[in-house]
Structure 1
């Protein structure tokens, strides 16, 4: 059994309400949350989710929230399969898109701890067979840190000289149907293309950069394990994630959603085109559900906070200093007040536009795939309390391509639950 199992959610008394999807637990022996207040918060969160689904025209949405390691709310909305009228539930498995990058970064962090890797190593140190990357026709070196923070210059879905766009779903490379048998084989898509900028001088989001990172992890692993084996052995089995895996299009997967798209809200829904995500497993090719993602998030939360309370916990997925480094801002992104660390986005504390309280620092990653939009968001504890998993985690998965406002929806819901958290300070500016 893994170091953090789904049984953790069942260690305390539960009250389940089928009508609202509420799963209530006693969160703290000394600071129990009033059930009536919790129900009011859940009712408000439910309205936010319903509005998000209807406004964006999303077929199916699943959402889950934990406070201090305990599941307080999860619910599914709409349909996982429109044609067969299959309801979307918290168990529905969907594409998690770029949240996959956080899993790849976790394995990289484990290799750093084992001494197999250093964030500032150059990639040719570990993979000397790769051709030299070029910038302005001159060879340059790329570090692991630059790959994991999107500062390497490795391209995304367009080549240097081609128009850059925020609407990547219009790019042909997004719809690859070829199956790649290995990560190394998929490197052929971009390995000989010139870098978009000199490494370390700019931030440009790149899924291919994480494909390259996953190839290096394969290269330095024990017995030259495949990335499939690394994900399975170092994360999935460790945490007992029963519904998380790399996507194979022809595999039979219980509770898997269908995927949909539309050109506009006025246009009807359509099934998405067939794609094979084996070309970007490490950057956007994984499947999961909200239950597994919340286990993953709470494990990382425990890793981050273990050192601060001098815990005597033994085995962990990552050491406290590793996850803290991964969650430290490295470079500013295009989004205001948002930075990128190592495999994660970080937003610093800022004033709220709707009330007198601050929006706390939080760590998250969004994802956009063919037929899916997703987010995993973590608000760590603002006090050094005795609960290793003190904080709020929320994940939202949808089966619609390009569903807008998912980040704001997740943030709004998390701030609702923060209002009743006994461990968060609500200091005014």
Structure 2
């Protein structure tokens, strides 16, 4: 039976003690977790015992997958809001020298670099130095692309950032064969001479490495500063990413080709990617990238480590392109997917000997980074971690909220059924010391939660009027006669039950 359970849990590659640990963790996660009693103080989310148990399972699952997928080395970190909940290295950063992977092992994160280029775009936009709808030729006038389409407006900075410009994936050059990558200016010249627009803008989503290289060139010209210098001074250093940069450094993992059969992994050549710097050249580790993940969960004006205002971050996270199957999309720099019932954003990176991924659920302030030193599929691993942790964190957040105080006695006057002029009926009810609104005929529907903000006024949370104010009407005798649901009136129809 234990053997069968281990197989079902995906831990057959582990030793007996690890298997027993994982099985015990699974049993703990399977048990219902009661809400904390109202008399108990609220427990911080990071200290919730269910999260502790889930992180033990994450650790075991990642090591199992590393072994199964023959990944030489793997580093991972889980972020909740402004703190690292957990980080660990698995296997070896260098197999030959038996150097273990750690949370501070440096990896080439390849296209995750594009998130930093997109952040630079938003910083310069907020500073008034560029506009998202500016044509790229305003900054790179030498780029002149042929187009076979009658309706082919100029390529904009926003289109480059969202991969909607119709630009080819690469420049028409042989650098992926020779692994000698030219300067971006040479790529622009090759596109002008031999390239063309593959699609008109917004016809199809088409990932473009050369598009991000050109975006980086345009932004560096707008900033009056080399791309690498700008990102280091305005993004990496203010965030405290002091081990990150654009040159190989001590602690860099060795990149390997994915092993075949039982053969040992073989190191692969690491080229200089030349003009692809803004698309693929960042070196970092999971504990440094955690600081960039935490940035995505902050709000407020620019200052200190708040390198981009909250509204601009939300603009980056918002969907600017939805795929025809409505299963995924793209923001400004960020991919957008569904993981379970949650919307997740992130980016992956793949380059000779390295595959990396970051993924986060903004609504939960939960993120994960998985870096590997071979051609693996870390996006599958980040999705696995978020699928496991998402519901756990959501339950922990619910338990961390202090119990609401007893409802004021006068709230009983609000209870009852109200009919709108459209004929629909809603019920105002009291549940666990809070007021709620549901359709009168659907008591099991997800309620709109009402939070008091002033006498007879409540902020609505949930439903079509979420964020608006619900206001009760009271006559001269103090009797509740109706309610305004946002801009829509409803009269009281029945006495409280």
Q: Which bracket does the TM-score occupy, shorter chain normalised? A: 0.7 to 0.9
TM-aligned CA deviation for residue 392 of structure 1: 0.7
Please identify, of 236-245 and 55-64, the stretch whose mean Cα deviation from structure 2 is larger: 236-245
TM-aligned CA deviation for residue 413 of structure 1: 1.2
Query: What residue number does 1:167 align with?
Result: none
CA distance change for structure 1 residues 278 and 46 in 2, over 3 Å: closer, same or farther? Answer: same
CA distance change for structure 1 residues 420 and 56 in 2, over 3 Å: closer, same or farther? Answer: same
From 118, 131, 155, give the equivalent of 1:142.
Answer: 155
Q: Could you tell me whether the CA contact under 8 Å between 1:150 and 1:206 is conserved in 2?
A: yes
Q: Does 2:273 match 1:277? A: yes
Query: What residue number does 1:368 align with?
Result: 350
CA distance change for structure 1 residues 362 and 415 in 2, over 3 Å: closer, same or farther? Answer: same
Q: Could you tell me whether the CA contact under 8 Å between 2:108 and 2:283 is conserved in 1?
A: yes
From 48, 64, 68, give the equivalent of 2:81.
Answer: 68
Q: Provide the secondary structure at the position in 2 that maps to 1:61.
A: strand
Query: What residue number does 1:410 align with?
Result: 382
Q: Does 2:62 match 1:49? A: yes
The RMSD of aligned alpha carbons is 2.8
Distance 1:206 1:79 in 2: 32
Query: What residue number does 2:428 align with?
Result: none
TM-score by length of structure 1 reads 0.76
Please identify, of 106-115 and 314-323, the stretch whose mean Cα deviation from structure 2 is larger: 314-323
TM-aligned CA deviation for residue 157 of structure 1: 3.5
Q: Number of aligned residue pairs: give it.
A: 357
TM-score by length of structure 2 reads 0.66
Q: Which has the larger radius of gyration?
A: 2
Moved over 6 A (4+): none
Q: Provide the secondary structure at the position in 1 that maps to 2:137.
A: helix
Query: What residue number does 2:10 align with?
Result: none
Structure 2: give runs of 5+ residues left out of the alignment: 1-20, 22-40, 400-443, 447-497
1:66-94 CA-to-partner distances (Å, cap 9, x unmatched) read 11212111000000111111111001000
Query: What residue number does 1:207 align with?
Result: 209
1:31-83 CA-to-partner distances (Å, cap 9, x unmatched) read 33456433321221012201221121100000001112121110000001111
Q: Could you tell me whether the CA contact under 8 Å between 1:157 and 1:174 is conserved in 2?
A: no
CA distance change for structure 1 residues 370 and 203 in 2, over 3 Å: closer, same or farther? Answer: same
TM-aligned CA deviation for residue 115 of structure 1: 1.0
Query: What residue number does 1:338 align with?
Result: 328
CA distance change for structure 1 residues 39 and 207 in 2, over 3 Å: closer, same or farther? Answer: same
Distance 2:353 2:143 in 1: 34
Q: Provide the secondary structure at the position in 1 that maps to 2:44.
A: coil
Query: What residue number does 1:255 align with?
Result: 251
Q: Provide the secondary structure at the position in 2 that maps to 1:133.
A: coil
CA distance change for structure 1 residues 313 and 122 in 2, over 3 Å: closer, same or farther? Answer: closer
Query: What residue number does 1:127 align with?
Result: 140
Q: Could you tell me whether the CA contact under 8 Å between 1:183 and 1:214 is conserved in 2?
A: no
Q: Does 2:30 match 1:30? A: no
Distance 2:66 2:198 in 1: 37
Q: Could you tell me whether the CA contact under 8 Å between 1:64 and 1:75 is conserved in 2?
A: yes
Distance 1:424 1:346 in 2: 25
Query: What residue number does 1:91 align with?
Result: 104
TM-aligned CA deviation for residue 417 of structure 1: 2.8
Q: Does 2:397 match 1:423? A: yes
Q: Provide the secondary structure at the position in 1 that maps to 2:251.
A: coil
TM-aligned CA deviation for residue 263 of structure 1: 6.6
From 342, 366, 372, give the equivalent of 1:392.
Answer: 366
CA distance change for structure 1 residues 45 and 191 in 2, over 3 Å: closer, same or farther? Answer: farther
Distance 1:137 1:68 in 2: 46
Q: Provide the secondary structure at the position in 2 that maps to 1:246.
A: coil
Query: What residue number does 1:17 align with?
Result: none
Distance 1:136 1:263 in 2: 44
Q: Could you tell me whether the CA contact under 8 Å between 2:122 and 2:312 is conserved in 1?
A: yes
CA distance change for structure 1 residues 314 and 231 in 2, over 3 Å: closer, same or farther? Answer: closer
1:67-126 CA-to-partner distances (Å, cap 9, x unmatched) read 121211100000011111111100100010110000000000001101111111111123
Q: Could you tell me whether the CA contact under 8 Å between 2:109 and 2:283 is conserved in 1?
A: yes
Structure 1: give runs of 5+ residues left out of the alignment: 1-19, 21-28, 160-170, 353-357, 383-390
Structure with bigger RCO (C-alpha 8 Å, 6+ apart): 1
Q: Could you tell me whether the CA contact under 8 Å between 1:376 and 1:396 is conserved in 2?
A: yes
Q: Provide the secondary structure at the position in 2 that maps to 1:373.
A: strand
